[in-house]
Structure 1
Amino acid sequence: MPFLLNAWYVAAFAHEVRADAPLARTLLDRPVVLYRDAAQRAIALDDRCPHRFAPLSKGRIVEGVLECPYHGLRFDATGQCVHNPHGDGRVPAGAKARAYPSVERDGAIWFWPGDPQQADASLLPSFDFVDPGKNLTHTGYLLTRAHYQLSADNLLDLSHFQFLHPDTLGSEAIARGNMQSGSVEDTVWVRRTTHDEVLPPFVATGFGVPPGARVDRWMDVRWTPPGLMSIVIGVTGAGMPREAGLISPSAHWLTPETERTTHYFFAFGLPKEMGDAGRELVRYAVEGLMQPFEHEDLPMLEAQQKSLGDSDFWAAQPALLPIDAGAIRARRVMERRIAEERTAAGTADTPSTLRGVRVTVADPLGAG
């Protein structure tokens, strides 16, 4: 599946992008360099000098502009060469690196790889609960060796907690819980609720639940293209209304590195009014989840990718279950958005879902 270009992706956490050293990162199969200019704005350029194609990320930042490490040409925030130290100093007409629209928001640097004229910051969904200026936050990052849609599938179906994470996140109550899913325009949501559950120790400790206490737990997931997700997990005493419980909101941002690898950025946030207790809870959540994410989710996603190889997801004829409803909705949104974008650009081909591929077992979403 080609990438959706006219969309906002997370390029880095804000604290990763500095004014004293450039950051190299591959995003959607393209090398990008990130740095801050003299006004502390985050800048994203192609990581290739237009002179002899040296990686600009190996250079240095001089008075807010990026200097090539090979011959000293310097490039400003627009990617234009503004300094040639050789000869009479004239700048060749083609001495310009591509600059990408970028926005700093909610603790992240977002970049737009498509048509700059379509870049609109108002299209970004809100993740203000992980804005470090307003909340206590903690962040985590993993590189997943699998297609980013497989990672989205994983997060849109938390039923795997019971089987993949039995000692940290899951319990036998999950499979018998209630699950609903739907969509509003291009936003997909999945809500899963368990009743009369005994939480695993890691989750119970995070929510301050005594060992063995019976609770109801809900897990609400929201997905917007291309891979921007929020997960709100809440816990309350068994039979009590949601309003009586505690919640833990988190952001999960998936940015393709390549067609088979994914940058997985995640963050937790709690109100600053919680003080040291809140600061400890977000740290506990990120550092605790790093273990199951890294040692259980990542190996499974990588094994899935290895099994699929270069095969199209639908060509592999997945046998679908009702628990897949949210993930399939998200895939359909992405396929439609990419097809629309390619049609507008005059590069459309036939989507895989229209190539006569038959999906085994009943599609839980019907034909729509």
Structure 2
Amino acid sequence: MRRRAFFSCADSIASALMSFLLNAWYVAAFAHEVRADVPFSRTLLGRPVVLYRDAEQRAIALDDRCAHRFAPLSQGRIVDGVLECPYHGLRFSANGQCVHNPHGDGRVPAGAKVRAYPSLERYGAIWFWPGDPARADAALLPSFPFVDPAANVTHDGYLHTRAHYQLSADNLLDLSHFQFLHPDTLGSEAIARGDVQSGSLDDIVWVRRSAYDEALQPFVAQGFGIPPGTRVDRWMDVRWTPPGLLSIVVGVTAAGMPREAGLIAPSAHWLTPETERTTHYFFAFGLPKEMGDAARGLVRYAVEGLMKPFECEDLPMLEAQQKNLGDHDFWAMQPALLPIDAGAIRARRVMERLIAAEQGTAPAPVRTIAITPVAGTSQAVA
């Protein structure tokens, strides 16, 4: 007799989309996008933000709105490490305070200040904290050591997605779609025959998927240096940390051999909401510098090779999902759930709980949804 797994899911009909978690680190930009000679603008969590480097090369994040007449500061220029408004020349320092008024006697009005966001540079990215500045702690940033440019050769990619960031997280937490959405690049029939497990530790969600005796698609085989026709075992381990920070480790070994005998390819996937319906998707691959030119070629091969399936297959699917959801709440649409959805469900639960706690509201009412078992899956349910 097959067992049925059950999950309690929020059944909110008040809002079609979740609010944002504010007290958390989000990627604002890759480090190479932020310069000391020209400001850079990006909408993050529904707010226009301007980024630049000061005279000490520190990355600065401010509201992209002058305190005087609300002109976009990103259209201005950087003068001696401070940001000058393009409209009337007021200049703002790293803490958002106006430090120069070229008009009249030069006095600076008390209200001439724009919001400054805590920011830090790590793992090849600029991170910003949109919540309470007093709670911004660098120790709260999850670890992604494999894309630390100090020790690794890295290469990165960016995609703009016209869908809610949680749909992107769902997509990455359920790699069973490789078989169907990416049949010519990433998938194979062995994925459905394999095993999948998921669980959580505190607010961290993990999903582990294994495929056995698999014939890899040429793109994947070449990346791992696997000769054509070789039968392998492949595993894909995903770790999700709120608000939308994921690591994916893909490993390959000869069929029947232990994981320790195989090769791995780690990658970082960082989701930052642009608006309630659009997402910045940052991703990066890294390999040890000791690998030399081979590492440089492999990380570039991974990013450039994945760009096509990500852009031509994942993005259209996510955007089609968002279109069908429209203004409806995800749970109010009563999705039919499978064991492969367990990781995504856990991540959504964590986000709903954290946002409710941050806003001081009671969690949404819950209902129980039965998940239909699928042959070939083993499910560890917390």
Length-normalised TM-score, structure 2:
0.92
Match of 1:45 in 2: 62
Matched, 1:229 2:246: yes
Matched, 1:250 2:267: yes
Amino acid at match of 1:238: A
Distance 1:362 1:74 in 2: 60
Matched, 1:66 2:80: no
**Structure-to-structure mapping, 1:76-155, within 5 angstroms:** 76-155=93-172
Residues 264 and 92 (structure 1), Cα distance of their counterparts in 2 relative to 1, 3 Å cut: same
- Per-residue CA distance 1:120-162 (angstroms, 9 max, x = gap): 0000111111111210000000000000000000000000000
Question: How big is the shift at 1:363?
Answer: 10
Residues 317 and 358 (structure 1), Cα distance of their counterparts in 2 relative to 1, 3 Å cut: farther
Matched, 1:266 2:283: yes
Matched, 1:31 2:31: no
CA contact (8 A) 1:315 1:357 kept: no
**Structure-to-structure mapping, 1:183-194, within 5 angstroms:** 183-194=200-211
- Per-residue CA distance 1:332-363 (angstroms, 9 max, x = gap): 000000000000xxxx3x544x1x66646569
Q: RMSD across aligned C-alpha pairs, in angstroms?
A: 1.6
Question: How big is the shift at 1:8?
Answer: 0.3
Amino acid at match of 2:238: V
The alignment partner of 2:264 has SS state of strand
Matched, 1:340 2:353: no
- Per-residue CA distance 1:60-81 (angstroms, 9 max, x = gap): 0000000000000000000000
Matched, 1:278 2:295: yes
Distance 2:380 2:259 in 1: 31
The alignment partner of 2:267 has SS state of strand
Match of 1:318 in 2: 335
The alignment partner of 1:290 has SS state of helix
Length-normalised TM-score, structure 1:
0.96
Distance 2:301 2:332 in 1: 41
Question: How big is the shift at 1:171?
Answer: 0.2
5+ unaligned residues in a row in structure 1: which ranges?
none
The alignment partner of 2:332 has SS state of coil
Amino acid at match of 1:75: F
Question: How big is the shift at 1:186?
Answer: 0.3
Matched, 1:302 2:327: no
Question: Which structure ranks higher in relative contact order (CA pairs < 8 Å, sequence separation ≥ 6)?
Answer: 2
Amino acid at match of 2:94: A
Question: How big is the shift at 1:293?
Answer: 0.1
The alignment partner of 2:38 has SS state of coil
CA contact (8 A) 1:10 1:108 kept: yes
Amino acid at match of 2:62: L
- Per-residue CA distance 1:257-296 (angstroms, 9 max, x = gap): 0000000000000000111111000000000000000000
- Per-residue CA distance 1:88-109 (angstroms, 9 max, x = gap): 0000000000000001001000
The alignment partner of 2:290 has SS state of helix
Matched, 1:293 2:293: no
CA contact (8 A) 2:39 2:77 kept: yes
The alignment partner of 1:45 has SS state of strand
Residues 366 and 179 (structure 1), Cα distance of their counterparts in 2 relative to 1, 3 Å cut: closer
Amino acid at match of 1:210: P
Residues 361 and 275 (structure 1), Cα distance of their counterparts in 2 relative to 1, 3 Å cut: closer
Distance 2:368 2:89 in 1: 57
Residues 363 and 159 (structure 1), Cα distance of their counterparts in 2 relative to 1, 3 Å cut: closer
Of 356-365 and 14-23, the range deviating more from structure 2: 356-365
CA contact (8 A) 2:196 2:210 kept: yes
Match of 1:207 in 2: 224
CA contact (8 A) 1:162 1:174 kept: yes
CA contact (8 A) 1:191 1:218 kept: yes
CA contact (8 A) 2:197 2:380 kept: no
Distance 2:196 2:372 in 1: 18
The alignment partner of 2:209 has SS state of strand
Distance 2:373 2:168 in 1: 20
CA contact (8 A) 1:317 1:360 kept: no
Residues 175 and 7 (structure 1), Cα distance of their counterparts in 2 relative to 1, 3 Å cut: same
**Number of aligned residues:** 361
Among all aligned residue pairs of Structure 1 and Structure 2, give the percentage whose two residues are the same amino acid: 81
Match of 2:346 in 1: 329
Amino acid at match of 1:68: C
The alignment partner of 1:93 has SS state of coil
CA contact (8 A) 1:177 1:192 kept: yes
The alignment partner of 2:190 has SS state of coil
